[in-house]
Each structure stands twice: as C-alpha cells, then as structure tokens.
Structure 1
C-alpha cells in the first residue's frame, strides 16, 4: 500500500509539470455527474448504489487534467438473513479526491486523422482521496450461528488511492474551442483502512469500485485546440 501511495503521488505531481512542456492551454471547468458504486469488504455479498458528484478541473494542457472532486451518497452491502455471518451495512459517506489524468493525446499529438483524434481522449489517472464513513444501519450478529458477532466502528475516515481509466470526449464549437467534455471512467479505489463497511474482520482492506459519468463545462482560460 505504501508503494501505491508513492506511485500515485509521483504521477499526480508529474502531470503538473508534464503539461507545461506543451503549448499553453490553461482552462478551468466545473463538472457534475453520477457514480455507480460497488463495495467489496467484509460483508459476504457486494452492494451497489448510485451517488452524485461534483468536480473542479484545471487543464494545464489539452490532454492533461487535474481534478478536485467531492462525492456524497450511500454505500451498502451484505445480507443479514441469507449470509452465514449476518453482516449487512448502510454507509452514508462523503469523499474528497485530488486526481490527475494523462490522456493518450500526448502520444498522438493533434492529428487530423479521425481515428487518432478519437484515440487521443483515452486516459489513465491516479491521485489520493479521503472517505468519511458514517454507518447508519448495520447487522453484526449471525442468524445461523449463536453468539457470532462482528465488531467495528460506526464512524471512521480512510485514505484512498484511486486508480482510474476512462474516456474524455471533447465537444468543440466552430472555432475548435472546447465547449464541454463528457467523461466516462472506471475507478478502482484502494483503501488504507477497513472502515467502509463498519466491520473489522479478516486481513484484506475494503475496496470501492466506481463507474462514473460526468459533464464538464468550460469556465475560463485558453481553450483552443490548435
């Protein structure tokens, strides 16, 4: 986990410097969207929920993005009646991320070839985040085994390492200025802790997997694509 943190921090700060080696392109965006969450933890069955998010984005280059994102919503998992452990939880969470993404356009450049233009918008990214867990509903006893109990905190905070892949589709106007972006991504969050589900069991940390869709609107800055 320590190595993941070091690699993510290196990638994030490298993005800031890497974008400056290209022609000036400094713009700010605000975005919003929805996220499909899947929790993988100590509950025996994974849970799925949908939650909203908002973000602020800085683009030092057309194909480099630094994002600050806030998420709020509910996470859940487990089944108190059908699983052996009886574990079930509902977590009213808040999370904040700082992420960087590097798009394939750094490899292809600004090409007139349509396929190269489409491929340029694929990206990878990483960063760091923190989640504030608030367990509102929880089942800690098993209906199958007498006196079987799983403890854990009802409130906690965990650092996260987001590993992200996605596609950032740019919508341009007649002057080849970016009007807005549609960002579709998968994010695999590695947790430095075991509080997402409110249970402390086993040696594995919790995992939060997310599929997200965002619309980002340009606010200001130089935003010409050539």
Structure 2
C-alpha cells in the first residue's frame, strides 16, 4: 500500500513538472484579447481628386483559435474628407463622419511556417493577412455642388447610407511575453484597404466606378484577457 501511494505521488509530481515545463517553454496563450487603435484614413478612390488624411478610433475583440489564427470583431468611428483642386474647377468637396463594424479572419505566417530553427523565419512569424466582411454607416456633413452643372442642381448621391464593405489588411503583430512566455500584450501595425460596395462614400454618385475605396494605416495595442490554453508548438523563441 505504501509503495502504491509512493508511486502515485511520483506520477503526480512528474505530470505537474511536465505541465509547468511546457508552460515555461512558451506553448501557452490566451484565447481572448481586447484592444484599441488609432487610424489615419485616406479616401483612395472616390468622385473627388484631392486625398485628405483624417483620423479614426478603433476598438476590437479577438478570439484566438491559435496564436496565429485570429477572429477579430472590430468597431470604428472616424472621418473622411476630400476635395477637388482649383485646376479642375468642379468645386466638389465632402466630409463624411462614419461608423463601421467588421468581422475578419487573420492568418499569421507562424501558423504555416517552421520558425523554430531560423531567426529570419522567427522574425516573420507575426506577419499577417486578413479579410472579412464589414458594414459602414456614412453621414455626409459637408457636400458642395459641382460648379460645372447648372446652378441649383446637385449630382446624384445620398448623404446618408448604410452599406457593406470588404476589408483587406496586411500587418505585423509584435508580441510581448509575460514571465510564463505567454503573449500578454500585442502591438499591431497594419495597412488596410476597404472596398465599399457603393458609390456614396463621398455623397457623389458619378463616374465609371461604382465602388468607392478608402485606406487606413493603424497602430494599436491588444491585451490578453484569459482563456489560457496550449498550442501544438512553442510560441516564444
């Protein structure tokens, strides 16, 4: 009986040591993150020519299927502005105060490459691409008539629209590890193209293109909030 108890104690100690060693080696990660970011927006393709830079604020919640496969729900609010230069003499100008929501899947290189024995691969493991579907609510607060059309006439277009958009993003995530080698803070730098399924991002519905586009350069930070689980390979090197 004493020998059996002694064996059980040894087994428990070995199992506990194995688990702790695994955690120390950097296999564990949190399944949930919350984050904030600031963005710089540019209306890349609209019915005006001059591209103005405007700010936006972003909030996100992330479910991490793995450290390198992430599902991100994002909300943002910001402004978009544009105008025509005097040489075109159209007088078009707009300002859009928008709110947007998006659900994106994010794939980081670490999910598909072996980064354990190569410093270059280890540096690139946090490079990611993402895409998904979004919904943007546009509210045009400034809109000038086109000076080339008869006085009193406005070009076709709605000042208030709610339409889907497709975000396509390339970015890099710097992981900051805690004492257990778990990624606890993530600094995110990304560049995103938003393909709006409408020509009313600027309030003007004209021209050959029926799809407006705006880009965003964002810098954000995410914080792990729990649901710690293990990955199939070491995260920290």
C-alpha displacement at 1:109, in angstroms? 3.6
Retained in 2: the 8 A contact 1:157–1:195? no
1:33 aligned residue (33, 37, 40): 37
TM value normalised by structure 1? 0.83
Say whether residues 1:66 and 2:71 are aligned partners.
Answer: yes
Alignment partners' CA distance in 1, 2:87 and 2:222? 42
Residue 82 of structure 2: aligned partner: 77
SS in 2 for 1:118: helix
Residue 51 of structure 1: aligned partner: 56
1:60-209 alignment, distance < 5 Å: 60-79=65-84, 83-109=88-114, 111-142=116-147, 147=151, 149-204=154-209, 205-209=211-215
Retained in 1: the 8 A contact 2:98–2:138? yes
What are the Cα deviations for residues 122-170 of structure 1, in whole angstroms up to 9, with x where unaligned? 011100001100001111231x665474231110012101111110111
Alignment partners' CA distance in 2, 1:203 and 1:129? 24
SS in 1 for 2:50: coil
Retained in 2: the 8 A contact 1:161–1:189? yes
Instruction: Count matched residues.
Output: 203
What are the Cα deviations for residues 89-118 of structure 1, in whole angstroms up to 9, with x where unaligned? 011100001001101102224515332221
What are the Cα deviations for residues 36-94 of structure 1, in whole angstroms up to 9, with x where unaligned? 10102001222210111100001010111100000101111114856422110011100
SS in 2 for 1:108: coil
Query: Where does structure 1 lack aligned partners over 5 or more consecutive residues?
Result: 1-22
Cα 1:33/1:169, change in 2 over 3 Å: same
Residue 10 of structure 2: aligned partner: none
Alignment partners' CA distance in 2, 1:72 and 1:153? 19
Say whether residues 1:221 and 2:231 are aligned partners.
Answer: no
After superposition, the CA RMSD in angstroms is: 2.1
Retained in 1: the 8 A contact 2:63–2:71? yes
Cα 1:80/1:151, change in 2 over 3 Å: farther
